[in-house]
Amino acid sequence: GTNWAGTPTIPTRTSSTTAPATRLRGTQTMRPGDNKWTMTIWGRDADTGKAKFGYQKTPHDEWDYAGVNVMILSEQTDKEGKKRKLLTHPDRNGIVYTLDRENGDLISANKLDDTVNWVKQVDLKTGLPVRDPEFGTRMDHKGKEICPSAMGYHNQGHDSYDPT
């Protein structure tokens, strides 16, 4: 299952989708492309269910990170002093994502720590992960010491946010 989140004051409900068929993972020949809209945080109109935004965290998920962890809703002031309604999602892929929960804009995407090695960084302009090919799963490459493992860096644990 996945987590759903929403508040009465914003007519958006958020949820996420999980990884594509795991048996075919890791090979571009059997399952080419990003596999849109897997591994995606969705924002939907609470009344109609129509998609308002979708952000794909791990395009072509090679490791079964799934991405169905908790979504923390908060209101915070950004660096420019603007109050924003945010969604923070610590993912099994080792990245903590923060999005504007009204329009889906990616605010930040940071590694939980330096041991996360499948990705060098997330490009905040494109929203895409910059992968390290050494830690990918391909038929012609035996990846070792990939972090996080398929169990995920941040798995099913609960999170909280204290605004004080």
As beta bridge partners, residue 16 has 41
Catalytic residue among 45, 47, 61, 64: 64
The residue whose two tokens read 């941040």 is: 154
Catalytic (active site) residue 64? yes
Pairing mode, strands 40-45 and 51-56: antiparallel
Annotate 91-137 with three-state secondary structure. CCCCEEEEEECCCCCEEEEEECCCCCCCEEEECCCCCCEEECHHHCC
Query: Which residues form the catalytic set?
Result: 64
